[in-house]
Amino acid sequence: MQKVIESFGVGKKFGATQALNDISFEVNESEIFGFIGPDGAGKTTLFRIIATLLLPNEGEMKVLGLDATTGFKELRSNIGYMPGRFSLYQDLSVEENLNFYATVFGTTVQENYDLISDIYSHIEPFKKRLAGKLSGGMKQKLALSCALIHKPRLLVLDEPTTGVDAVSRSEFWSMLAKLRKYNITIIVSTPYMDEAMKCDRVALIQNGRILSIDTPQKIREGFSKRLYRIRAQDKYKLIIALRKYPNTNTAYPFGDSIHVTFIDNAPGDSLPGFLESEGIPGVTIEESGAGIEDRFLELMEKTA
Amino acid sequence: MNDIVISVRNLVKKFGDFVANDNLSFEVYSGEIFGFLGANGAGKTTALRILSGLSSPTSGEVMVAGYDAKKEPEKIKKNIGYMCQKFSLYEDLTVKENTMLYGGIYGMSLPLIKKRTAELMEKLNFSDYENKLISDLPLGMKQKLAFSVAVLHEPKIVFLDEPTGGVDPVTRRQFWEMIYEAASRGITVFVTTHYMDEAEYCDRISIMSDGKIVALDTPANLKKQYNAETVEEVFIKIARPDSPPSPLKGG
A231 and A211 in one domain?
no
CA distance B182 to chain A (A): 10
A210 and A75 in one domain?
yes
CA distance A38 to chain B (A): 5
* CATH code for position A235: 3.30.70.100
Cβ atoms of residues A209 and A217 within 8 Å: no
Q: Considering the domain boundaries, does residue A293 fall inside one?
A: no
Nearest to A185 by CA among A5, A10, A16, A61: A5
Question: What's the confidence (pLDDT) of residue B13?
Answer: 97
Cβ atoms of residues B156 and B79 within 8 Å: yes
Give the residue from A182, A215, A248 where a domain finishes.
A215
Q: Is the dihedral of CA B64, B67, B73, B78 positive or negative?
A: negative
Residues of A with CB under 8 A from a CB of B: 37-41, 122-123, 125-126, 129, 133-138, 162-170, 191-194, 206, 234-237, 239, 252-256, 293, 296-297, 300-301
A250 and A274 in one domain?
yes
Nearest to B199 by CA among B146, B236, B243, B241: B236
* CATH code for position A115: 3.40.50.300
How is residue B94 annotated by DSSP?
B
Question: What's the confidence (pLDDT) of residue B1?
Answer: 52
Mean pLDDT of successive 10-residue segments in chain A (304 residues)?
92 96 97 95 97 97 96 95 91 97 96 93 94 90 95 96 85 91 95 92 97 97 96 93 96 94 94 95 94 95 78
A282 and A176 in one domain?
no
Any residues with CB less than 8 A from the CB of B105 and at least 6 apart, and which? none
Structural domain spans, chain B: 1-79+156-251, 89-154
Q: Considering the domain boundaries, does residue A298 fall inside one?
A: no
What's the domain count of chain A? 2
Distance CA A160, CA A143 (A): 9
Cβ atoms of residues A251 and A257 within 8 Å: no
Cβ atoms of residues A96 and A89 within 8 Å: yes
Nearest to A23 by CA among A69, A62, A74: A62
Answer yes or no: do A38 and B166 touch at CB < 8 A. Answer: yes
Strands A32-36 and A201-206: parallel
pLDDT tens, B190-242?
999 878 888 999 999 999 999 999 999 999 999 999 999 999 999 988 876 55
Nearest to A20 by CA among A47, A2, A1: A47
- Per-residue confidence of chain B (251 residues) as pLDDT tens digits? 579 999 999 999 999 999 999 999 999 999 999 999 988 788 998 999 999 999 999 999 999 999 999 999 999 999 999 998 666 899 999 999 999 999 999 999 999 999 999 999 998 888 889 999 999 998 888 889 999 999 999 999 999 988 887 888 998 999 999 999 999 999 999 999 878 888 999 999 999 999 999 999 999 999 999 999 999 999 988 876 554 444 443 43
Question: What's the confidence (pLDDT) of residue B71?
Answer: 96
Q: Considering the domain boundaries, does residue A12 fall inside one?
A: yes
State the CB neighbour count (10 A cutoff) for residue B204: 19
Question: What's the confidence (pLDDT) of residue B237?
Answer: 87
Give yes or no for B105 touching A (CB within 8 A). no
Range(s) of the domain holding residue A284: 227-288
Distance CA A195, CA B179 (A): 25
Q: Number of residue pairs across A and B with CB atoms under 8 Å?
A: 115
CA atoms within 13 A on the CB side of B143: 25
Question: What's the confidence (pLDDT) of residue B127?
Answer: 86
The topology under which CATH files domain B1-79+156-251 is: Rossmann fold (3.40.50)
Contacts of A39 in chain B (CB under 8 A): 139, 166-167
Question: What's the confidence (pLDDT) of residue B250?
Answer: 42
CA angle B132, B141, B163 (to 5 degrees): 135
Question: What's the confidence (pLDDT) of residue B138?
Answer: 85
Q: Considering the domain boundaries, does residue A303 fall inside one?
A: no
